[in-house]
Structure 1
Amino acid sequence: MIEAELKARVHDPEYVRGQLDRLVEGRAEVYQDTYYDDPSGSLGSQDQELRVRTIHGPNSTRSLLTYKGARIDSTSGSKPEHETRVDNPEAVHAMLHGLGYVPAISFQKRCQNYEFSSHGRSFLATLVQVPEIDGTFLEVETMVPEEKELSSALDDVRSTMGELGIHTDDFTTELYTDAVAARRATR
Structure 2
Amino acid sequence: MIEAELKARVRNPEDVMRALEAHGTGRAEVYQDTYYDDPDGGLDARDAELRVRTIHGTDETSSLLTFKDAKVDEASGSKPEHETRVEDATAVHSMLRSLGYVPVIAFEKRCRNYGLHAKGRDMLATLVRVPEVDGTFLELETLVENEAGVSAALDDVRAVLADLGIDDGDLTRELYTDAVRARRGA
TM-score when normalising by structure 2: 0.99
Runs of 4+ in 1 over 2 A off after TM superposition: none
- 1:163 maps to 163
- 1:105 maps to 105
- 1:62 maps to 62
- 1:21 maps to 21
- 1:173 maps to 173
- 1:48 maps to 48
Measured after TM superposition, the shift of residue 97 of structure 1 is: 0.2
1:73-112 to structure 2, matched below 5 A, reads: 73-112=73-112
* CA distance in 1 between partners of 2:32 and 2:79 (Å): 21
**How many equivalent pairs are there?**
186
Measured after TM superposition, the shift of residue 169 of structure 1 is: 0.5
Aligned partner letter, 2:16: V
**Residue-by-residue CA offset, 1:106-139 (whole Å, 9 max, x unaligned):** 0000000000100000000000000000000000
SS at match of 1:172: coil
List gaps (5 residues or longer) in structure 2.
none
- 2:37 maps to 37
* CA distance in 1 between partners of 2:116 and 2:167 (Å): 21
SS at match of 2:22: helix
Identity within the alignment, %? 63
Measured after TM superposition, the shift of residue 28 of structure 1 is: 0.2
SS at match of 1:23: coil
**Residue-by-residue CA offset, 1:70-122 (whole Å, 9 max, x unaligned):** 11111000000000000011110000000000001000000000001000000
Aligned partner letter, 1:87: E
**Residue-by-residue CA offset, 1:158-184 (whole Å, 9 max, x unaligned):** 000000000110000111000000110
